[in-house]
Amino acid sequence: ALYEEALNYQRQSTSIKRKSGNKRGLASSLNNTGEILLKMGNFYAADTCLNKSFQLLKESGLSDILAELYGTMALYHFKKGSKLQEENKFKEAALEFRQSYEMQQNQNNLKNADIITENNKKILQMQFQYRQEKLDKIKTLEEQAREQKLKSENERQRILNYAVSGGLLLMAALLFFIY
């Protein structure tokens, strides 16, 4: 009863997302619908929903939801393999278990790729921050050097002014005593 109610709501959600053209939402709704159908034991309908979701994701390149779908598909193949095993169809069960494993590997690969991408972004951000801090430090040091040079020039100019003033006073005093 709960699964039927959940399925009803999920089908309404799928319909709304299909009408609105929301591919991300539609793929997610199809995945969720497939998962509910899978829990209800309706493998054929679950397979149909999961494959539609997979096609949508492949066409639109939405890899974040694709990882989630691979997880659901792994569960689908595992449950289907378990059912086939109960029916003593071991060869078919083995194929389903292999597909379940491959889907799980695909999910892990996508998650790892996302982690690597995120780590690369962080590394680039840290490199940029390091370079920016380095440039800021260089600017600060250059400005300090300019200020020091300006102070030195001002001090030299002040000393030169005192020397010239002193020399002129001395000459004035000598001229005063001579005349």
pLDDT tens digits, residue range 118-141?
766 777 777 778 788 887 888 888
Contact between 34 and 74 under an 8 Å Cβ cutoff? The reply is: no
Nearest to 97 by CA among 109, 71, 79: 79
Kindly report the average pLDDT of the chain as a whole number: 81
What is the value of pTM for the model shown? 0.51
Over the stretch 66-98, which tens digit does the pLDDT of each residue have?
Answer: 667 677 777 777 777 777 777 777 777 676 666
Measuring CA to CA, how many Å separate 51 from each of 27, 47, 69, 128, 170?
10, 6, 10, 42, 104
Higher pLDDT, 138 or 63: 138
Select the more confidently predicted residue: 120 or 21.
21
pLDDT tier for residue 63 given thresholds of 50, 70 and 90: low
Range picked from 1-15, 74-88, 106-120, 155-169 for highest mean pLDDT: 155-169
Cα 34 to Cα 117, 129, 140: the distances in Å are 29, 45, 61
Give the C-alpha separation, 33 to 18, whole Å: 14
Residue from 38, 37, 39 nearest 7 by CA: 37
Q: Measure the CA–CA gap between 135 and 148, rounded to whole angstroms.
A: 20
